[in-house]
Amino acid sequence: MSTLSARRKFKQNVPLFMMLIPVLAFYIIFKYLPMAGLVIAFKNYNFTDGILHSPWTGFDYFEWIFTNSQTLAIIRNTLILSLLTVVVSFPFPILLAILLNEARKMWFKRAVQTLVYLPHFFSWVIVGGIIVTIFSQQSGVINHAFEGWRGEPFPFLYDETAWIAIFLGSGVWKEAGFSAIIYLAALSTIDTSLYEASSLDGAGKFRQIWHITLPGIRSTIILLLILSMGQVMEVGFDKVFVLQNNAVANVSEVISTYIYKTGLQSGQFSLASAIGFFESFVGLVLIVTANRIARRFDQQLW
């Protein structure tokens, strides 16, 4: 390509480059520059000496993480809740997208889409308020029915097993509809003649879904699965924080909430940074591992 044509092409794409500047600025300012602060994970940070002059401690905080029973329990809770979230929540958007794709009445399809997309735009504070209103032991709607049936209310939000079920269910309710948009877009690319041919061969709906629909969106499923593996160590601060209480602390205390309590509330910034660094490193390892597995099926991300 000649220099003249390269300049001409650059001038033609100037508006696109201008639109890209805010995105680059966001990632540079809020994603890459803060990485320099990870150095305090290897220092005994204090405000007086600052980041550069605080004394080095090496890997002392990382050793403390793996020798302290409390942090090991927190890592365990994070892994359990994250893996349960992936196992339970990941299939729901796929199922919902397939069901919406099979709907033939457009008014019904649009109404359902609106209803299932709406919770995504609620903050977790609002969702937490709704959950408490429904499952509260004193005034919850569900417990009114339980009290009439069993004679006494059930502590849904204070029972560990029930809390995990509510945590997973609220996540599905909030995000499944919005996540289904990606799968609906992937479903629109499948050649409709494949369904017509299979119908002539006598294939029913379930066989069409199994042999045409799912293989047609397999690359999208694998891509999103790889990306979700990177978030296995990130349960999410807000959705845990608004639902947790002292009665279920043994299962609800996760890395994100522990970082908030130790870093911001207790001022142990070096320890919080070390835990955050460990969380990010595990996420990176999981993404690379999932991508290597997907590469064997020629569905890798890179």
Residues forming beta bridges with residue 56, ordered by sequence position: 43
pLDDT at position 28: 93
pLDDT at position 52: 84
Residues 6+ apart with CB under 8 A from 12: none
CA dihedral over 193, 199, 203, 206, signed as positive or negative: positive
How far is the C-alpha of 245 from the C-alpha of 82, rounded, in Å?
19
Q: How distant is the alpha carbon of residue 232 from its chain centre?
A: 8
Global pTM value? 0.81
Walk me through the domains of the chain, giving residue ranges and CATH numbers: 68-295 (1.10.3720.10)
pLDDT at position 279: 83
Q: Which two tokens stand for residue 60?
A: 């002392």
pLDDT at position 34: 86
Nearest to 85 by CA among 165, 156, 182: 165
Q: Which two tokens stand for residue 247?
A: 């009665």
Averaged pLDDT in 10-residue chunks for the chain of 302 residues: 73 87 92 87 88 89 88 89 87 90 83 87 88 82 74 84 92 88 88 84 84 87 80 78 88 89 86 87 81 74 70
pLDDT at position 2: 62
How far is the C-alpha of 81 from the C-alpha of 66, rounded, in Å?
20
Residues 6+ apart with CB under 8 A from 105: none
How far is the C-alpha of 64 from the C-alpha of 72, rounded, in Å?
10
